[in-house]
Structure 1
């Protein structure tokens, strides 16, 4: 099996479903040999994988994924699954006449906070096409403890760069697909990337530093095309400590 070929998945819940399609689908698979790999998936054990191809956990189901670009092509689950429509999808994918499926949250009604919310359908607009702006973007998961700890710091960072040409942004990578133009996958959370103003579409810098506001600011000073002086925070005036102010336990 050529691991670089697109992979077609047929999810079946039981032996009966597999036998229903096996003879015809295996004949179809032979006609696509060298162009497309076919595989059965036991949905009772590995059904959660369907979400990776933007399929609902509803069996049987069929979808194709380009293992090189990550592009997903789920077969419509509203009608009956037939070998004919599986074959048609395979033909269309190979011919390039069908658009890949992109999972995306709804575009926020307002997006004027210090941290810009990015979804799959606005990724190009905010991150890739903003040629005059530098963009620092966090790819996060809502359940990730490290992401939750970072959230207030990241919000402060966004406030520090309000009014500048440096965009502080975030994308929920569990609810949004990345465009095929993005040259990386998300392996852990949070993943933080930086894209300079005027950079090529596939040109990103990894942020691997400490996650303090000061460290982010230092990184942006060194890497951003647009220079912006972050105002120093005003420190509260210190006053001498009075004896009555000191907490103590009674003897």
Structure 2
């Protein structure tokens, strides 16, 4: 009766007053926005308001802020908006019809006044029937209250959320999200959704008969790193091995994870390089954004959790993310007492010794190379000296031989030829030079053979 005594349409000039009224009322609100100078449709709107005032609240405004937001861009027609209770203003429904008449507006109001997925009860049933569109029913009973909540999601606005529920963006779909355990259970999307399956599916979920949908990367065919590439499908199998398993849960976009990666890899290399330890300690990493890990509560990245070989309770690493810090953590909290720090120090000592040995060998090789080059230089010099000496000797001998021939042809007495004595001396010199040639050649050959260095 109070509502009947009020005007069918409340008119607002101030934007703040109108927004406050929208926020405070619990009924469905039908708002008309009139651009300046526009009167078309106004009488129709007031007529509809009078006939439906028991079911809806009607507002009208010419405030420019609301006109700019909700009226058609042409500025020549009014706009109509439906605000539903308990929904954000951004979810309001806007009339997009081309013809403004009573039938079109009434159909728009009755259809858009109800949420896409809502409760059918004594108070709402009449409104659902008045909408004149098919009504899909989902029946549940009180036995599920406190065990499961039901809600609908607008696929046009929130369809991408299906991926977060491990479902494809194929609609309609039905999925249950166990928020506490972060597990998802969905009806298969291999065929179109059969609504008859939903009640049995819900009952099986409540009874604990369903298996969750596990999001996982494919299992790698080959492990190419000392850090084991872990995925959702085999997470539980790997952490249950009779080994001390340290798992890094990370996100690809995480800066701390990127800085930890080379340190984590270096520690994995330490265990992998030791024959006695490589089958006792496993360092693994898993992209938590691409793999579901049922039962593991990850609050931030990176998270390091050690799963001891004896199956005792997992332990989360809380120390400094250094090689020594993580190695000591594995030794102290694991069950196999593998001392990664000692292994690292031993391997570093071996590495340094090998580097020093290699450096010494390279230095020795360089010295031998230089000695060989020096010897080759001496040989080249000696060979050059031999050629020079041989040439000089040959020239001298040739000259002496020529002079000797002249001496033979010359007269035998000084009286006959004053040069006879000279030719005789030249002959003696020839014999001397020939002897010296042989001696010199012998010495040069000795030098070439590595003998008599000092006699040359």
Offset, 1:188 = 1.3
User: Structure 1 stretch 93-102 or stretch 204-213: which is displaced more?
Assistant: 93-102
Task: Report how far residue 96 of structure 1 moved.
Answer: 3.1
Aligned counterpart, 2:180: 68
Residues 1:117 and 1:102: Cα distance change in structure 2 (over 3 Å): same
Gapped runs of 5+ residues in structure 1? 1-13, 238-251
What SS does structure 2 have at the residue aligned with 1:110? coil
Greater Cα radius of gyration, structure 1 or 2:
2
Counterpart CA distance in 2 for 1:32 and 1:226 is 47
Give how far 1:57 is off.
Answer: 3.0
User: What's the offset of the Cα at 1:102?
Assistant: 0.9
| Unaligned residue ranges in structure 2 (runs of 5+) | 1-92, 94-111, 118-132, 357-456
Q: Which residue does the alignment assign to 1:204?
A: 314
Q: Which residue of the other structure, out of 73, 92, 95, is the alignment partner of 2:207?
A: 95
2:164 aligns with one of 52, 57, 79: 52
Moved more, 104-113 or 79-88: 79-88
Matched, 1:144 2:254: yes
Aligned length: 216
Counterpart Cα distance in 2 of 1:101 and 1:215: 37
Q: Distance in 1 between matches of 2:196 and 2:174?
A: 12
- Alignment partner of 2:336 out of 218, 226, 229: 226
For residues 30 and 21 of structure 1, what CA distance do their matches in structure 2 show? 25
Aligned counterparts of 1:169 and 1:21: Cα–Cα separation in 2:
53
**Structure 1 residue 206: deviation in Å?**
1.0
Give the drift of 1:68.
Answer: 3.5
Counterpart of 1:156 (choices 266, 274, 279) is 266
C-alpha deviation, 1:71, in angstroms: 2.5
Counterpart Cα distance in 2 of 1:204 and 1:136: 9
Distance 2:198 2:170 in 1: 16
Give 1:67 shift: 3.1
Cα offset, 1:24, TM superposition: 0.6
State how 1:172-211 maps to structure 2 within 5 Å.
172-179=287-294, 182=295, 184-200=296-312, 203-211=313-321
C-alpha contact 1:17 1:60 (8 A) present in aligned 2: no
Higher strand share: 1
Higher helix share: 2
Paired with 1:137 and 1:207, the residues of 2 have a C-alpha distance of: 10
